[in-house]
Structure 1
Amino acid sequence: MNPAKVALVTALAGGLSIGAALLGERWIDPEGGGIPLAGLGQGEPVQWPEIRLPDLAGHEHSSDTWSGHPLILNFWAAWCPPCLEELPRLERFAQRHADAGIRVVAIAVDRPEATRAFLAAHPVDLTILLAELETITLTRRLGNRVEGLPFTVAFDARGRHVFSHLGALEQDQFEQLAARLDAPSATPR
């Protein structure tokens, strides 16, 4: 195994553990509803970001594509075991809620060749985009203070941030998120 990759994964795991311990209380829904929310601080509400990222074929996708629909961005990597456990649940969620207009985009924070190799062996029916260097900065702005993976963030149909979670989500948590995105306050007027 590549020593640099081992060091990176070890540092990421340590940082994730320390960050989760230090910031854990800010990631828990104060109402106890089971949906963790990022404490994004004071000021202007976070809107969905302007992104332009390539897919595996090199075609660029823009956030404008999903305008007017609830959007879930999931940041993952082929070297991240919790990400790989979560990916099939994300795919089931996307298929189950496609008719409701919820868009799901999985953004691979990995080398393109590693992502292609993983998906060739484990195909999924999701929109997969490839992260660029600025993507890590983007996840930080969206509430991922420790820059860990997997990281999921959701926006309602108006583009307002409604959810952030660091770590793998279970199927019931995805379903709770769908209910939140389908709420009347989440639909465009």
Structure 2
Amino acid sequence: MDFNDNTINQYLKEMQQLIKSHDKLLEKMNCTINERNKNILPLQRTVGRLIQHGLSKEEIVEITDITSDQYDNQVALEKRLQLPYVYLTEEETAEYEQLIQDIHQAKAIDELIAPSKEEERIVFIQKVLQRYLSDYIGILESDEDKYGKFVDKAVSNSKAKEVSSSLVRIFGNEIKRKREAVLLNISK
């Protein structure tokens, strides 16, 4: 093949144009990726919020469009995502699991909303809040500086509010799900 200077120059120009168009395409692709990343919610934070609001595993899997294994991996990565969302002592955890089990084992709506069962759930929530109150009082009686006390009191008060609303939501959602299951069984 015979190459002259014109042919070589033309090939060089074409290569330079290809490189420029390649750079422009890469820049567009990077912009698209960055834009997409801005619009995607972090999965772990999303799952955490949904758990905090008392949604079940099945509901979270359906909403986030992830697999059950992906959900389990997200929950396993961070202990705070494991239900219940709030910190419970060993005794409280056992009582919580028993209350949830009572909800799941109810065969009729009357069992689900029986005043005695409601009272058990309320007493449980009050017991947990009482523990938070004793922690709060402990902060007041400590010898820390006033600013530190104020910060600790605010954090403790915020945690108590979160605990109360989370437990009420969790129990309410479990009762709602069970009520729907009972009504479906009755309608069949």
Smaller-chain TM-score range? under 0.3
Which structure features the higher share of strand residues?
1
Higher RCO, Cα 8 Å, sep 6+: 1
- TM-score, normalization by structure 1: 0.23
Q: Which protein has the larger Cα radius of gyration, Structure 1 or Structure 2? A: 2
Which structure features the higher share of helix residues?
2
